[in-house]
Amino acid sequence: MGIFGTLYISYSGLFTDSQAMNVSAYNIANLNTTGFKAGRYEFGDVIRNAVGEVFTRGAGYGVTPKATRWLFSQGGIQTTDLPTDLAISGRGFFVLSDGKGNIFFTRDGQFMINEADEKHFALQNSLGMYLLGADPDAITPGIVDLKPHLIPKVMPAKATSKISAQLLLNANRPTNAETLLSKYDWTADPTKPLQDGQYDWVFDWDIYDPLGQRITLKAYFDRGDNPNTYEVLLALADPAKDTRGDGKFKGAFLYGTLTFGGKGEVVSADFSQILDPTGTLIPLDLATLGQPRFTLTVDGRTQEITLDLGFRVNPDGSITRLGYPTRLSATPFAQLYFSQDGYEEGVFDRIEVITEEGLIKAWYTNNKDLLWLSSFSLILTDTKSL
């Protein structure tokens, strides 16, 4: 081997060693970079044979850079106080988009909530790239199903459409032949159409109108002329909000009778909607509806409301009792359960990751949440091109 071959071997060693030092320096410089994956520099032998100053194939004459292998092993996961800091345990990458159709992959889970437009926020990284995710109900989404999910700044108000209650009605109250309809009279007292002592019990139920304003309904209960029956009357706590007009039944919207069996269970029900303040009754076909349903009119706005007292009427007229049935019991009146599905308007407050699979909720100031997206991590079988 001549002097040029000797110099080449020395040069190859110096060159590859400097390249390895560059990789090591890069690893050290990014020691605290979130999601960084270190590289490992790999060498290869130069297979050459020297005859005079002419090189032919052989072995052991210098080294050459072979590859920089990126180590996609699991790093340490740190806990922070920011709900937008995400991490992937195991294999996979967060999928990002620059908004121009270009897709990127990262292990860096540091995201922040930025304004996307006048009505929405978005989850983005420090470079402004959007985190892509699948719809919350997606079962096995692929990368083509991913998209930037925008967080509404405001959750619109929802009018109550269903009231559910589990009640205990006192079986020790005396029967009485005078009905709630005969005793209710807005013309006699506009502020209190049903006087104290004219009913056995009343429950106050707060619901919401289409604007998200809270409204109080009064659910009056009174023992019927049969010991196995109870009358029900639903009316506004403030009858003045009823804009259907004036009359004896202003503020009243639903009237019915519950009949109980020997064990205190509901065995039949009859309900009618009070159509107008004059007292026009429209019988409800519970075999078709399943549960009582009425139209509530407040300040000129209407909404349909279903009353769920823990039972459903079947098409053949039989009763199916649900898991929270209203019962007749030899105990004081009690409300064991109450819920309604309306709410006021809410402003975006925070996000929360609720499952290890990355299902994300957006919370609002009305204490309601929105299943927002499934933060999708893509597993690549070939990472050589990354």
* Range with lowest mean pLDDT among 76-80, 186-190, 212-216, 382-386: 382-386
Residue of higher predicted confidence among 41 and 92: 92
Residue of higher predicted confidence among 28 and 208: 208
Residue pair 92/386 in contact (Cβ under 8 Å)? The answer is no
Give percent of the chain with pLDDT exceeding 70: 76
Q: How confident is the model over 225-275, as pLDDT tens digits? A: 999 999 999 999 999 999 999 999 999 999 999 999 999 999 999 999 999
The confidence score (pLDDT) of residue 4 equals 52
Residue pair 58/48 in contact (Cβ under 8 Å)? The answer is yes
The confidence score (pLDDT) of residue 337 equals 96
> Which parts of 231-342 fold into alpha helices (H)?
286-289
Element (H, E) at 16: helix 3-29
Residue of higher predicted confidence among 367 and 33: 367
Amino acid at 354: I
Phi and psi (nearest 5°) for 12? -60, -35
Residue pair 283/256 in contact (Cβ under 8 Å)? The answer is no
The confidence score (pLDDT) of residue 137 equals 72
CATH number listed for the domain at residues 162-340:
2.60.98.20
The confidence score (pLDDT) of residue 265 equals 96
pTM of the model: 0.74
* Range with lowest mean pLDDT among 29-43, 45-59, 125-139, 354-368: 45-59
pLDDT of 331 higher than 80: yes
Average pLDDT over residues 120-125: 91
Q: How confident is the model over 148-206, as pLDDT tens digits? A: 888 999 999 999 999 999 999 999 999 999 999 999 999 999 999 999 999 999 999 99
Q: Which residues contact 42 (CB under 8 A, 6 or more apart)?
A: 65, 66, 67, 68, 69
Rounded to the nearest integer, the mean pLDDT of the chain is: 85
Q: How confident is the model at residue 9 (pLDDT cuts 50, 70, 90)?
A: low
Residue of higher predicted confidence among 228 and 105: 228
Q: What is the DSSP string of 158-205?
A: B---EEEEEEEEETTSPP-SS-HHHH--TTT-TT-SS-TTSSSEEEEE
Q: Residue 112 corresponds to which tokens in the numbers above?
A: 């922040």
Residue limits of CATH 2.60.98.20 in the chain: 162-340
